[in-house]
Amino acid sequence: MEHRIYGMPFASVYPLYIAKVERKSRAKADVDEVTRWLTGYTQAEIDAHVASGTTFRDFFAGATIHPNAGMITGVICGVRVQEIEDPLMQRIRYLDKLVDEVAKGKAMEKILRSPAP
């Protein structure tokens, strides 16, 4: 049985991500930056997915997940993201976790798992 979020349009959740970070004095640009980092999409591609109503399944099917995505750890919705076995659900939760970190005011270089200089 497939989780219902897989068939949800990415466009239905994207504005919620933006609203969450804006409530914490961060910007849409921050959500876009972490989304581009995780998925490898350009901003134009993200905008096209939002406009076309692409499902989460299709959104992540076309993505090139960042090689450092495996460094994303922690709990989201009561589950450790690094322990999620379903690859699609794990990618969705990776994005949720990145947005949470933006909302919490974490430094972008830490969110994007940049190596220390």
Q: Give the residue extent of every domain in the chain.
A: 4-109
4-109 fold: Helicase, Ruva Protein; domain 3 (1.10.8)
Mean pLDDT of 76-100: 94
Binned at pLDDT 50, 70 and 90, residue 19 comes out as: very high
Give start and end residues of each alpha helix (H) in 1-117. 10-23, 28-39, 43-52, 56-61, 87-103, 108-111
Asked if 114 and 43 touch (Cβ cutoff 8 Å), the reply is no
The residues near 38 (Cβ < 8 Å, ≥ 6 apart) are 63, 65, 66, 69, 91, 94, 95, 98
Percent of the chain predicted with pLDDT > 70: 97
CA atoms of 57 and 50, how far apart (whole Å): 13
pTM (global) more than 0.85: yes
CA nearest neighbour of 35 among 82, 90, 91: 91
Average pLDDT over every residue of 80-97: 95
Asked if pLDDT for residue 17 goes beyond 80, the answer is yes
